[in-house]
Amino acid sequence: MLQFDLLTTDQPRGDYAGSHARRGTLTLNHGVVQTPIFMPVGTYGTVKGVMPRSLEEMGAQIILGNTFHLWMRPGLDVMAQFGGLHQFEKWNKPILTDSGGFQVWSLGEMRKISEEGVKFSSPVNGDKLFLTPEISMQIQTTLNSDIVMQFDECTPYDTKGHITTEREARSSMELSLRWAKRCQAEFTKLENPNALFGIVQGGMFESLRQESLEQLVEMDFPGYAVGGVSVGEPKDEMLRIMAHTPHRLPAHKPRYLMGVGTPEDLVQGVADGVDMFDCVMPTRNARNGTLFTRFGDLKIRNARHKTDEQPLDVTCTCHACAGTSGVAYAIGGRDGFSRAYLHHLDRCAEMLGPMLASIHNLHYFLNLMSEVRAALDAGTFGAFRVQFKADRARGV
């Protein structure tokens, strides 16, 4: 079940030429999602260090689960016992699950790809396993995710220094297309009541991207993703594919850019016509002491923060910055936590440190998307992009 309603698009205004940005709503079995949207990543059935209640409070509308890892642990028997991932992790809003293709790709020499699927050794206990398009659909049906991703081969940018050639990228892309048809057939056979997305591949070759896109559109998926970016390629190559592909997908269906990225990537992605994003960056960077703010990135481990009484971001209303009051102040009179305190937690390896940092980073990403939606509603997305860039360049 999926319904996508396009509400507005970015229009030229004055000297502003407009963009491919658009505003919509995505209705799924477990709720309505306002787009453009960022989706927090919950690999093992949890967004690391963040309670479901905190996710709701910061405005998360849809989160991710990982097919490959949940298949490994706790396994399908447990998932079936709880009726799927929603009840298991106590999240009553939409969930998207990836297909396992990226995780299989990341195993490197531990896996062997064939026409039928991928043979590999379990990274958990060494068991010999076989993942196919059909098995991926069966796992995701048991997980009962609102959005199911097709099983694909994630085309690498390079392998041990060898840059993927156009011929190699074509072979990979065509395999993913054949797997897409098998996914669609198995998804239908299982009578899965949710929505299956196709994934555009083709490496860094625009002609292959276009060919993949056109064949997937002929298959008439409810939604489409752009995969195989942010896999080690130079940033300008990623931006080139972002600029080429999303806006060429059907206008009446949702578009998802997989695994991207920085705040700047998200705003550019919206301008390129993307509706949905995910990335581990907010939580991973938080655990490593990097905080995203309106005015640039902040390294909480730097000694200069040892006595700093300011919150991470004076404009932020997350629990870390503003506590329960919802208001952050530059110095004193606030209910949130100081940079000095967060620096102290990090230096002492206290678990509260990465928890608060994760809450802040996720809140920042979700609030950024909320501001993007508001700008699109108001017809001021061009001005928003200018201010966003200026703010981020200001520095903390």
DSSP letters spanning 16-34: B---S-EEEEEEETTEEEE
Q: How many residues in total does the chain contain?
A: 396
The one-letter code for the residue type at 338 is: S
Catalytic residues: 98, 278
Whether the pLDDT of residue 330 is over 60: the answer is: no
pTM for the model stands at 0.96
Q: At what angle do helices 381-394 and 263-271 cross, to 10 degrees?
A: 160
351 touches 333 (CB < 8 A):
no
Model confidence over 31-69: pLDDT tens digits?
999 999 999 999 999 999 999 999 999 999 999 999 999
Query: Taking residues 145-167, what's their average pLDDT?
Result: 95
Nearest to 361 by CA among 304, 298, 309, 310: 298
Beta-bridge partners for 34: 25
Least confidently predicted of 114-118, 332-336, 370-374: 332-336
CA dist., res. 242 & res. 53, Å (int): 33
What tokens appear for 16 in the block?
A: 């502003």
Strands 162-163 and 158-159: antiparallel
Buried b (16+ CB within 10 A) or exposed e, 244-268: bbbbbbeeebbbbbbbbbbbebbbb
Whether the pLDDT of residue 305 is over 50: the answer is: yes
Q: How confident is the model at residue 104 (pLDDT cuts 50, 70, 90)?
A: confident
What tokens appear for 33 in the block?
A: 């999602």
**Residue 100 pLDDT:** 83
Please report, for residues 90, 189, 256, 294, 348, the alpha-carbon distance to residue 85 in angstroms, rounded to integers and kept in the order given.
Answer: 8, 21, 21, 34, 34
Three-class SS state of 72: helix
Q: How confident is the model at residue 325 (pLDDT cuts 50, 70, 90)?
A: low
Q: How confident is the model at residue 1 (pLDDT cuts 50, 70, 90)?
A: confident
Please report, for residues 58, 237, 369, the alpha-carbon distance to residue 262 in angstroms, rounded to integers and kept in the order given.
Answer: 19, 15, 12
Three-class SS state of 382: helix
Distance from chain centroid for Cα 208:
23
**Residue 333 pLDDT:** 46
Q: Rg of the chain over CA atoms, in angstroms?
A: 21
Instruction: Using a pLDDT cut of 70, give the percent of the chain over it.
Output: 97
Q: How confident is the model at residue 284 (pLDDT cuts 50, 70, 90)?
A: very high
Buried b (16+ CB within 10 A) or exposed e, 367-384: bbbeebbebbeeebbbeb
CA dist., res. 217 & res. 215, Å (int): 5
Query: Taking residues 258-267, what's their average pLDDT?
Result: 97
Whether the pLDDT of residue 327 is over 50: the answer is: yes
Query: Taking residues 19-38, what's their average pLDDT?
Result: 98
153 touches 201 (CB < 8 A):
yes
What tokens appear for 141 in the block?
A: 């049906």
